[in-house]
Structure 1
Amino acid sequence: MTGPMRPAFHEGQVLAAADLSATVEYARGQSARHARHLHEWGVAEGLALATEPRTDPLTNARYVEVRVSPGYAVDGTGREVVLTDPVVLRESDFEEVNGADPSEKEPYPVFLAAADREPATSARPDSCGGTGASTRVEDSYEISFGRLGDERTVAEQQPPAIGAQLAAPPAVWRILLGYVRWAGGHFSDVETEARGVPVRFSGVRADIVSAQSGSLTLRTGQEAQEGKPAIVLSGGDRPSLVFGLYQGGGTVDPLLTMAANGNLTIAGSFEGTMPAGSTLVTSGTATDGMLLPLPAGITAQQVADGRVVVHVHLAARTPPALEESVLYIPAEATVDGDLRVRCRARLYDPVNSPGEVVERPGAVDFLVVATVSATNGGG
């Protein structure tokens, strides 16, 4: 099997239409192979479903006009799809596919596909020997609606073989743009995900990503936005890996930093799975009715699931400001299943109040010990 054929020319050669077409097709084939083998297909820019409120002149009912914004996508064959202007979706096209009375409970998919079209005005040969055939082909598009569940067929599309040329119509590769909702004979809303299938965006296939500046940033949006997360890998004299949030000036506020020596700095608390037998402790003073705190890193759900066992020790406290004749007698110092303290004490003053015993809330010193069970709750 031969590889791609690259046109070659020499002086005095008579160029036929096939020679010039081969030049174009060779460049298109290169571009297509690059796109489908080094990138993941999908929406690269724009192509969002947008709505404009409208009113039905016959019923005065409110609905929305849906349009596809200008944008750029690459399909699974490596072919580009470009929309230079907004495109309004026609309700008649939707009804033709899904009927005049579709479900109002579920959203319906909207697809985009590449298409070849002859432009409305096209240059033609002026010579007597010309064939009169068009000399231009428009790289156009086709927007269509699907039935419920058709969005799942997008993932089933198979790319062409390595080295294959761009497929011409009627071959169609569908790109999911989103979903429309239908109510009262009109579009009512749009969505970007339904039944677990979201809009697919383009990506890159790479085992190595390098940065010439010495700093590589990974973020969730095209622009740096305040409050959005970012990961920054820095080289230079002080290499580090930083996870943080963008500040107003575009800098990243570090929440987690790993230095080149392995030291880890965390702005917040650390939570995670602890090995079996690990022990965490917290202590302090509590009064009657207070909930005892769990050690840092331990959650109430871990205790409820049996993954962590809690032990509590209480010691009644004697108030410091009591008259010398007052007897302070702890009556109760317990904790319930919710770790709520029950602490009561009796006071008796045989000198000033020989016949009276007073009961009041007390205080305790507590020690809470949390240990991870041997089985870690089965998980």
Structure 2
Amino acid sequence: MTGPQRPAFHEGQILAAADLSATVQYARGAAVRHALHLHEWGIAEGLALVTEARTDPLTNARYAEVSVEAGIAVDGTGREIVVVDPVVLRESDFEEVNGADQPTDEPYPVFLTAADQESAAAPRADACGAVAGRTRVEESYRILFGRLGDERLVGEQEPPAVGAAPADPPVRWLVLLGYVRWTEGHFTGVETAARGVAPRYAGVRADAVTARSGALTLRTHRNAEEGEPAVVLSGGDAPSLVFGLYQGGGSVAPLMTVAANGNLTIEGSFTGRMPAGSTLVTSGTATDGMLLPLPPGVTPEQIADGRVVLHTHLTPRTPPTATASTLHSVVESAVDGDRRVRCRVRLYDPLATGGEVVEAPGAVDFLVLAAVAATNGGG
């Protein structure tokens, strides 16, 4: 087995067509290997399905003219597919494939695939006046309509072997662009996903990603849009890892920051699964009839299924009295199964006229401890 062969030339060599073709083939092979093994195949730019409202002159019915935007895709063979100008989808092509189907609300897949064709450039004459073959091949494409369910074919395609040369003509590889809806002889709309399958976009395979500016940013859209999330890894004098949202000026407002010393700063609240054996605490003051709060991060469901065991401690507070001679005693100080406080006190002033005993609601200082069971509820 030999590796790629790089053409080499010397003075006085007579160059045949095969020599020049080998030069082109070597460069094509290198480009294919780069695209195939350092990147994930898919749509690299554009190629969205867009609609424009139209009216049928015969029926006055409204429908959608569907076009494919200009753009670039790289298929799973490493082949670059370039759509230079927007392409209007032809309804006649759709009918050839799906015209016999019963009416349905399900969207149909639209694919892009590479195709070669002879260039429109005129054949050239050689030195002897004989007409030679065409000297250009146009690396073109075809837009195909699939049947319902054909989107599954995208995931079943197998890439070529390592080092495989570019195929001439190109191997048919389906790049899903999206879906169209069809009603009574016309397109009526487009969809970006159907039946759990969406267009695939080009990516990169790398174990290390570096930034020359000293800051590496990850975001969900090509442009920095206000309100969209971003992750920023910064170096320099104050290294940090920031997760935040873009502001109007393009800066990132931090929601969570990890400093170089490990300190974590969070703008919002922190919730999550508590490790087995951990304890959370909350405290405060409650009056008779109030529901005791749970420590942050603890839910009633965790208590109900035994994942968290709740402990409460109540200390009755001295009630306010009308006179300095009023005596008080606690009749009840407890919390029921619903975490509701029951606190009653009796007040008695021996110096007051009548000397009546009065019972009134009381208040308590509470301490609630939530302990995570050692088995974490078995799950």
Q: 1:245 to 1:135 in 2, by over 3 A?
A: same
Q: 1:332 to 1:99 in 2, by over 3 A?
A: farther
Q: CA deviation at 1:225?
A: 2.0
Structure 2 residue aligned with 1:31 = 31
Structure 2 residue aligned with 1:258 = 258
Alpha-carbon distance between aligned partners in 1 of 2:286 and 2:324, rounded to the nearest angstrom: 25
| SS of residue paired to 2:4 | coil
Structure 1 residue aligned with 2:71 = 71
1:64/1:186 contact within 8 Å kept: yes
Structure 2 residue aligned with 1:215 = 215
Deviations 1:57-110 (A, max 9, x none): 344333322211111111111111111211122222223222343453322221
Q: 1:240 to 1:355 in 2, by over 3 A?
A: closer
Structure 1 residue aligned with 2:303 = 303
1:152 aligns with 2:152: yes
Structure 1 residue aligned with 2:236 = 236
Deviates more, 1:3-12 or 1:321-330: 321-330
Alpha-carbon distance between aligned partners in 2 of 1:102 and 1:329, rounded to the nearest angstrom: 83
1:219/1:231 contact within 8 Å kept: yes
1:105 aligns with 2:105: yes
Alpha-carbon distance between aligned partners in 2 of 1:348 and 1:107, rounded to the nearest angstrom: 81
Structure 1 residue aligned with 2:45 = 45
Q: 1:283 to 1:18 in 2, by over 3 A?
A: same
Q: 1:357 to 1:115 in 2, by over 3 A?
A: same
Aligned residues: percent identity?
A: 71
Alpha-carbon distance between aligned partners in 2 of 1:278 and 1:20, rounded to the nearest angstrom: 73
Q: CA deviation at 1:125?
A: 1.1
Q: 1:346 to 1:49 in 2, by over 3 A?
A: farther
1:280/1:369 contact within 8 Å kept: yes
1:277/1:372 contact within 8 Å kept: yes
Report the TM-score when normalising by structure 1.
0.88
Structure 1 residue aligned with 2:86 = 86
Structure 2 residue aligned with 1:267 = 267
Alpha-carbon distance between aligned partners in 1 of 2:90 and 2:155, rounded to the nearest angstrom: 26
Alpha-carbon distance between aligned partners in 1 of 2:323 and 2:60, rounded to the nearest angstrom: 83
Deviates more, 1:126-135 or 1:260-269: 126-135
Alpha-carbon distance between aligned partners in 1 of 2:314 and 2:59, rounded to the nearest angstrom: 73
Q: CA deviation at 1:316?
A: 4.3
| SS of residue paired to 2:135 | coil
Alpha-carbon distance between aligned partners in 1 of 2:10 and 2:335, rounded to the nearest angstrom: 96
The letter of the residue matching 1:312 is T
Q: 1:316 to 1:38 in 2, by over 3 A?
A: same
Q: 1:111 to 1:365 in 2, by over 3 A?
A: same
- CA-atom RMSD in angstroms: 2.8
1:15 aligns with 2:39: no
The letter of the residue matching 1:310 is L
Structure 1 residue aligned with 2:169 = 169
Q: CA deviation at 1:169?
A: 3.0
The letter of the residue matching 2:377 is G
Q: CA deviation at 1:357?
A: 5.9
Gaps of 5+ in 2: none
| SS of residue paired to 2:312 | strand
The letter of the residue matching 2:222 is Q
Deviates more, 1:141-150 or 1:326-335: 326-335
The letter of the residue matching 1:241 is L
2:121/2:136 contact within 8 Å kept: yes
Alpha-carbon distance between aligned partners in 2 of 1:343 and 1:66, rounded to the nearest angstrom: 72
2:116/2:170 contact within 8 Å kept: no
Q: 1:353 to 1:53 in 2, by over 3 A?
A: farther
1:257/1:264 contact within 8 Å kept: yes
Q: CA deviation at 1:163?
A: 1.6
| SS of residue paired to 1:377 | helix
Deviates more, 1:362-371 or 1:64-73: 362-371
Q: CA deviation at 1:201?
A: 0.7
The letter of the residue matching 2:277 is G
Q: CA deviation at 1:320?
A: 2.0
Alpha-carbon distance between aligned partners in 2 of 1:130 and 1:287, rounded to the nearest angstrom: 107
1:108/1:181 contact within 8 Å kept: yes
Alignment of 1:325-364 (within 5 A): 335-341=335-341, 351=352, 362-364=362-364
Structure 2 residue aligned with 1:366 = 366
The letter of the residue matching 1:150 is D
Report the TM-score when normalising by structure 2.
0.88
Deviates more, 1:106-115 or 1:327-336: 327-336
1:227/1:245 contact within 8 Å kept: yes
Q: CA deviation at 1:341?
A: 4.2
Deviations 1:125-173 (A, max 9, x none): 1345534422221111111122222222212211111221112336201
Deviations 1:271-290 (A, max 9, x none): 23222121111011223554
Deviations 1:162-210 (A, max 9, x none): 2211123362011111122233443233222222222111111111112
| SS of residue paired to 1:150 | coil
Alpha-carbon distance between aligned partners in 2 of 1:105 and 1:339, rounded to the nearest angstrom: 53
The letter of the residue matching 1:41 is W
Q: CA deviation at 1:29?
A: 1.1
Structure 1 residue aligned with 2:124 = 125
Alpha-carbon distance between aligned partners in 1 of 2:219 and 2:45, rounded to the nearest angstrom: 16
- Tell me the matched-pair count: 377
Deviations 1:224-281 (A, max 9, x none): 2222222222222332222222222222222222222323222223223222121111
